[in-house]
Amino acid sequence: MAALPDCFGEIERVFPVGPDGHREVSPDCWPCGERIECLRQAVASRQGKDALVIEKARREEESVGGAAGFFKRWSLLKAHNRRKER
């Protein structure tokens, strides 16, 4: 069995928060053969679960219901898609 990389299962290194505030796979992880198992380990770890719960709570606090919430989510999605197109 090959030795695992030092970063294996560390959520802040393998699944960091990106510039848009959402978690994304680190670019250094894409060529790694252990990527999928590493990400599973990171999310399943106590540190990973805590981080994801905090982010979910933050998103729920930011969400607004009704028409105002719809337009806020629509505006955020539109801005995100514009950034992706650049």
Domain presence at residue 58: yes
pLDDT for 71 equals: 84
Give the Cα separation of 32 and 35 in Å (integer).
Answer: 5
Count of the separate structural domains present in the chain? 1
pLDDT of residue 30: 94
| Residue keyed to tokens 């848009």 | 20
pLDDT digits (tens, 9 = 90+) for 28-68: 999 999 999 999 999 999 888 888 888 877 777 677 778 88
What φ, ψ does residue 13 adopt, rounded to 5°? -95, -35
In a domain, 54, yes or no: yes
The per-residue pLDDT for 44 is 93
Q: Is residue 2 part of a domain?
A: no
Q: Is residue 5 part of a domain?
A: no
Indicate whether 1 pLDDT > 70.
no
Contact by Cβ (8 Å): 26, 53: no
Q: Which domain holds residue 27?
A: 11-85
Q: Is residue 24 part of a domain?
A: yes
Q: Whole-angstrom Cα distance, residue 79 to residue 71?
A: 12
Residue 76 confidence (pLDDT): 78
Q: How far is CA 21 from the centre of its chain?
A: 8
